Amino acid sequence: MPDSVILQGSDDENDQVDIQNNQVHAQDKSWHENDEEPDDFDRDSELDLSNSSTSEDKTYGDIVDSMKFIVFEDCLDILLAQTRCAECNAPMCAKNKTVSGTNVVYSIEYLCNHQELAWSAQPYLGTSKQKVAAGNVMTCAATLYTGLTYSRISSFANCMNLAMISDSTFYNLQSSVLIPIVNEAWKKQRNDMMTELKGNNVPVTLAGDGRCDSPGFNAKYCTYSFQDTLSRRIIDYELVQVTQTGTSQAMEKFGFCQTLDRLLCDGVSVGTIVTDRHVGIRSAMKKTYPNTSHQFDVYHMANTIRKQEVQGPWRSA
């Protein structure tokens, strides 16, 4: 709360109740609420966090490390009702409340008609042209980075009657702020891994596998990833859409080739590649990468043997 606000507390519970009951009756004024969440994020402009300023000159680290609490509306009203004008100590006569996602902003008026007090429950991120409450950004980030979905976190908030950002704000922040941050972090991490692998001067052993968004032959997306078996880190991946290959069956081979070609172009020496027994990948290794050793994953081999052993008696019968 700004320094211009003077809190007049009382240890007497009856005085506190009187303050709560009489806080808005002076001059027959009442306070108004705006429970509709305004979309405080402009989808047509990007949120620039590079030169942003926060309240009380807090850094991003301070905001992230700062404790957060669930504050009830009635308790907050009792606290703000005790504010007095910094010039004449006049009591409050009215307050306007605006809810913006997880944030609430109060505009307080005093009997003396001196300067109006504006108070926000959260610091802001961004520049003066594009500012977003820190809690809105952090709620969106926590949802995305922990693997949750907006529908689940929204249901949790509705169950508690907890103020929450709208779905449009969530997806706007995700596409304009969070996804670019993830991409930037991944590029930096990948560059560091490429430098390390090339500096070792030893051929690496890679384990690769593809994962589709749905089983069967109706998959639309396939993500093919390569893992360094020594460090157990994902060093590269490729996201393939079925429109790039024409069929779902060809997506895994396409992602394999695209990822491997990119690693080779970056100067990574690949000595051995471990994959499943995908027919297209086996063909590509023989024709396109004959100098690279190709081995089959023990897990998939064991599953194949187990299935053959189980089905053997039935086939013979």
Q: What is the pTM of this model?
A: 0.67
Going by pLDDT thresholds of 50, 70 and 90, the confidence category of residue 81 is confident
In this structure, of 65-69, 78-82, 264-268, 313-317, the range with the lowest mean pLDDT score is 313-317
Predicted pLDDT at 73: 92
- CATH architecture of the domain with residue range 202-316: 2-Layer Sandwich (3.30)
How far apart CA 271 and CA 294 sit, in angstroms, is 9
Which residue is listed with tokens 């078996």? 229
Q: Is the pLDDT of residue 273 over 90?
A: yes
- Output the six-digit token pair for 223: 């993500």
Per-residue model confidence as pLDDT tens digits over 136-194: 999 999 999 999 999 999 999 999 999 999 999 999 999 999 999 999 999 999 999 99
Average pLDDT for the chain: 81
How far apart CA 134 and CA 295 sit, in angstroms, is 50
Per-residue model confidence as pLDDT tens digits over 99-137: 999 999 999 888 888 878 888 999 998 876 778 999 999
How far apart CA 152 and CA 170 sit, in angstroms, is 13
Going by pLDDT thresholds of 50, 70 and 90, the confidence category of residue 254 is very high
* Mean pLDDT on 232-258: 94
Which residue is listed with tokens 């610091």? 123
Going by pLDDT thresholds of 50, 70 and 90, the confidence category of residue 291 is very high
Going by pLDDT thresholds of 50, 70 and 90, the confidence category of residue 279 is very high
Per-residue model confidence as pLDDT tens digits over 142-151: 999 999 999 9
Is-contact 127 48, C-beta < 8 A? yes
Predicted pLDDT at 38: 46
- Output the six-digit token pair for 101: 């996602």
In this structure, of 51-60, 70-79, 210-219, the range with the lowest mean pLDDT score is 51-60
How far apart CA 89 and CA 279 sit, in angstroms, is 82
Is-contact 117 4, C-beta < 8 A? yes
Number of helical (H) and strand (E) elements in the chain, helices listed first: 11, 13
How far apart CA 94 and CA 80 sit, in angstroms, is 11
Structure-model confidence comparison of residues 48 and 246, the more confident one: 246
Going by pLDDT thresholds of 50, 70 and 90, the confidence category of residue 2 is very low
For the chain, the structural domain boundaries read 6-181, 202-316
Cα-Cα end-to-end distance for the chain: 82
Q: Is the pLDDT of residue 47 over 80?
A: no
Q: Is the pLDDT of residue 53 over 90?
A: no
